[in-house]
């Protein structure tokens, strides 16, 4: 398990699958991840992380993308 600090300064725990998803999909902090590149399982994990405040969902011209929603001052 791993803890992350979101923008609100709240510690949020990640399980092994969520942590592995973030490590595989996000090499940099500012990277955008398109939803259409994900399979159904990865989309579910991403949406769960959005509801917990770890990812931010960005919608632009019918394109759905995810980006990390982390506190830059904590790292």
Whether residue 75 is contained in a domain is answered as no
pLDDT per residue as tens digits for the range 48-74: 999 998 999 999 998 999 999 876 654
Q: How far is CA 46 from CA 20, 29, 71, 73, in A?
A: 12, 15, 18, 23
Instruction: Assign residue 12 the CATH number of its domain.
Output: 1.10.10
pLDDT tens across 1-53, in order? Answer: 788 888 777 888 999 999 999 999 988 878 899 999 999 999 999 999 999 98
Report the domain count for the chain. 1
Structural domain contains residue 35: yes
Instruction: Give the pTM.
Output: 0.84
Let me know: does 25 contact 67? Beta carbons within 8 Å: no
Task: Collapse the DSSP code of 32 into the 3-class scheme (helix H, G, I; strand E, B; otherwise coil) and give the result.
Answer: coil
């Amino acid at each position: 398990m791993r803890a992350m600090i979101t923008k609100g300064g709240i510690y949020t725990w990640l399980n092994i699958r969520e942590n592995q998803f973030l490590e595989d999909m996000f090499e940099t902090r500012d990277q955008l991840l398109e939803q259409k590149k994900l399979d159904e399982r990865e989309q579910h994990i991403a949406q769960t992380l959005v509801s917990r405040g770890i990812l931010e969902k960005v919608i632009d011209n019918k394109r759905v993308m995810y980006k990390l929603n982390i506190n830059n001052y904590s790292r």
